[in-house]
Amino acid sequence: MQLNAFWRIITLMKHALNQKPDYEKELRKAGVRITRPRRIILDILTSTEDHPDAMKIFHRAIEIDDSISLSTVYRTMNLLEEMGAIHRHAFNGGPSRFEQAHGEHHDHLIDVDTGDVIEFQSDKIEKLQEEIARALGYDIIHHRLELYGRKSKRPE
Amino acid sequence: MQLNAFWRIITLMKHALNQKPDYEKELRKAGVRITRPRRIILDILTSTEDHPDAMKIFHRAIEIDDSISLSTVYRTMNLLEEMGAIHRHAFNGGPSRFEQAHGEHHDHLIDVDTGDVIEFQSDKIEKLQEEIARALGYDIIHHRLELYGRKSKRPE
DNA sequence: ATGCAAATGCAAATGATTTGCAAAAAGAAA
DNA sequence: TTTCTTTTTGCAAATCATTTGCATTTGCAT
């Protein structure tokens, strides 16, 4: 795992640290009913490293319980997003892809050939964004930095 | 217009400098037929400061010629994008919004209340992105930086 | 002017996502 | 653990942005 003063890779960190927040308890506390479909979807989300879209989540879900419907997946994603448990991305304008909202904010490098996603974070970039927004008279609500790249021929 | 070593506003620049590339000639040279709908859509694109979506372009177009169809707008946007004459954005995962591809690369600050877009550019951020991608073993094909913000209460 | 390939308008198709509704399940109360 | 009320579900149909098939029209090289 890379680590230096300017930026760091996030992807592997959450699993290395085995951060699996107990969403079930959290959600219940917030008055959300924990149903069978929701529990299954949460499990899928907390145990994957990728950023699946609704259809992919649906397919993984019906392998566990084939009565789950696609609309429930969509409804659950909306619910979890509102509760702040997941984040939604629209890479390249494609279908929404989701990831569990583990603590650290991070940006994404998307492999244009495979769709793979690497998460990283740079305080330096973050700080520059703040500076620019402030100078333009704005407060940043959220932001989105996506690098679309291809594996280098000769990695250094 | 702001200007310093680290970043600059782009939005106003293109109109201040009155950069209206002659897309018609360029496209014709590339073997693209200049039809009435295409001419009208190009005019709309080169004479607006905002980032309209297909529907907005369509409405502006039928004011000039009410026989233009929405599918032609979409087809023309795809064509112009392939020709590199325009850029497509999917802010917030909403419908595609377009802008003429005037020379300078730039990023966007989107006003979450109004949908307004301010264009800016920071070499420093650009350079950091390159660094990160390289360290991860990738070449950047393109990237996307969007700041979503709200006007500060006390602008400085 | 003429001919033919390319572009258009229209309507129907697509893909992602949402919604209405009756039936089923969750959780509080008894 | 049974009952009751409310929420959630599955299904099918609806919606939204966008694309496509096809018969007709148009650009433009000859």
Q: Which domains are seen in chain A, by residue range? A: 1-16+103-156 (3.30.1490.190), 20-101 (1.10.10.10)
Alpha carbon distance A149, B140 (integer Å): 4
Q: Which two tokens stand for residue B41?
A: 């859509």
- Helix (H), strand (E) at residue A148: strand A138-151
| Contact flag A125-B120 (C-beta cutoff 8 Å) | no
Please, what is the angle between helix A54-64 and helix A36-46, to 10°?
120
Q: What is the pLDDT of residue A150?
A: 93
What is the SS3 assignment for A151? Answer: strand
Strand C protein footprint, C-beta under 7 A: A 28, 33-36, 53-55, 70-71, 74-75, 77-78, 95-96; B 32-33, 35, 37-38, 67-69, 71-72, 75-76
List the single residue in B with minimal CA-CA distance to A11.
B136
List the single residue in A with minimal CA-CA distance to B109.
A133
Is residue A13 predicted with pLDDT exceeding 70? Answer: no
- Kindly report, residue by residue over B113-139, the tens digit of the pLDDT: 888 889 899 989 999 999 999 999 999
CA of B31 vs C1' of C3, distance in Å?
A: 19
Please, what is the angle between helix B36-46 and helix B54-64, to 10°?
120
CB of B59 within 7 Å of some strand D atom: no
Percent of chain A with pLDDT over 70: 87
Min Cα separation B40/chain A (Å): 26
Alpha carbon distance A131, A140 (integer Å): 10
Is residue A3 predicted with pLDDT exceeding 70? Answer: no
CA of A123 vs C1' of D9, distance in Å?
A: 43
- Intervals of chain B under pLDDT 70: 1-5, 11-21, 103, 154-156
- The answer to whether the CB of B100 falls within 8 A of the CB of B138 is no
CA distances in angstroms from A134 to A126, B61, B121, listed in the order given: 12, 37, 14
- Kindly report, residue by residue over A36-62, the tens digit of the pLDDT: 999 999 999 999 888 999 999 999 999
Question: Which backbone phi and psi does B11 adopt, to 5 degrees?
Answer: -40, -55
Percent of chain A with pLDDT over 90: 58
- The answer to whether the CB of B109 falls within 8 A of the CB of B9 is no
| Contact flag A129-B124 (C-beta cutoff 8 Å) | no
Helix, strand, coil percentages in chain A from 3-state DSSP, rounded to 5: 40, 25, 35
Q: Report the DSSP pairing between strands B107-111 and B117-121.
A: antiparallel
- The answer to whether the CB of B64 falls within 8 A of the CB of B40 is yes
What's the CA angle centered on A102, arms A131 and A23, to 5 degrees? 140
| Contact flag B151-A137 (C-beta cutoff 8 Å) | yes
CA distances in angstroms from A103 to A10, A19, A116, listed in the order given: 10, 9, 21
Alpha carbon distance B131, A85 (integer Å): 31
Q: Which residue has the higher pLDDT, A18 or A70?
A: A70
